[in-house]
Chain A
């Protein structure tokens, strides 16, 4: 009896995983990059690399996106918006940091107006290094995120989110 239930749950879980892996819809947000990374993302979406063969679709509304592609060090102005967009996305959601700036702040590291990387603000599932990364690297990173969907352990540290949404702390 129990093994039947387990089998059913397994089947359901593999169906869910399959659907999530096969249909990642992405949202692109520039958190203060120099536009180099953004142009590479656009190049990735062009017919030459055609991400639709992996099921990737560029969405314009955060409500319909599964993966948030972020570029650039988070400037203090973009921070609040980044958090709001992240909060607007429905679960399950993943964040990919694209480019050296998004990983660590890159050439802007230590500047008075930047936060030194996406993961200072919201949890990140994958990092794609490069300045800017080539489209092949972006595709590779996306595939790795999709592979990680199969493995458990994707959690939101709620304290990061709560602190970030607090307007007083944002202003600080």
Chain B
């Protein structure tokens, strides 16, 4: 019966279906609260589900002169990356399904798979908007990824382990947001860059470059990219709140902490305006990386026996 539980944990809970449903629910909270902050009524509760179903049953146009295998495969790879990353993260406050020393690094790389796939998907098509979108997407990856990685490694440094479940357990007794505020801020802002939320939405700026890297995607591919983003939202939120907001020990804590973090993100989204791509890069490399490195130095000096 062992394989049965393996399959269950991969397909239904906490992987697969649960993640997709949770991701859509969080996406709805995001859109609804943003609408409330802008004095609007906002979408109905089933909106992300309806969008996904509609995209899945829509015609998928494969444009001329693209590599068809890449065009169809990249969205699947992006979704698979997000779903796999969730297996190492305490989603819903439960212990991760799989865990091994150093899974933090693997998870962070799996989380950036989505952005890489989007960049490649844009570069794969001939459309000029998607080419510009791809360039911006990949530029943005190289700007926020390093500071985000460094910010996530700060808790690992004090916990003395690179295993997510260990860090989660350590963070349960220590609110690292108090001892490493700089790392928390950089992690949150890096996470916004990861999800291409405003003010870091230059890669898919609708008013300038169509739909960015995904301009040529119509049916299923677009649905998979949207789902991957929703899954990444929930995985990233649980990762950041597990590390910095005192750990995730049970489902209630998960709900309260991730939603609180999401509200902060929504507030920032509705407050800030879009940054140009060179401003994004400049901000991360001039300030973000440096302050995180300074914090690392402090941690190492303080922790020295």
Contacts and interface: CB of A to CB of B under 8 A. Distances in A.
Q: Do chains A and B stick together as partners?
A: yes
Interface of A: 15-16, 18-20, 22-23, 47, 50, 52-53, 55, 58-61, 63-64, 66, 88, 90-92
Contacts of A23: 47, 50-51, 53-54
Interface in B35-82: 35, 38-44, 46-47, 50-51, 53-54, 57-61
A90 B61 contact: yes
21 contacts: A18-B53, A19-B57, A20-B54, A20-B57, A22-B47, A50-B40, A52-B43, A55-B43, A55-B50, A59-B206, A60-B206, A60-B215, A61-B215, A61-B216, A64-B211, A64-B214, A66-B54, A90-B60, A90-B61, A92-B58, A92-B59
A162 B206 CA distance: 31
Contact of A18 (B50, B211, B217, B222): B50
A63 B54 contact: no
| Interface secondary structure of B, over-half rule | loop
Contact of A47 (B38, B44, B129, B210): B38
Interface of B: 31, 35, 38-44, 46-47, 50-51, 53-54, 57-61, 129, 206-207, 210-211, 214-219, 222
A63 B38 contact: no
Contacts of B60: 90
Given A52-B42, A90-B58, A63 B50 contact: no
B50 A91 contact: no
Nearest to B61: A90
Given A47-B40, A59-B211, A90-B59, A22 B46 contact: yes
A53 B53 contact: no
Contact of A15 (B53, B217, B219): B53
Contacts of B51: 23, 55
Closest 6 interchain pairs by CB? A22-B50, A19-B53, A90-B59, A19-B54, A50-B40, A53-B41
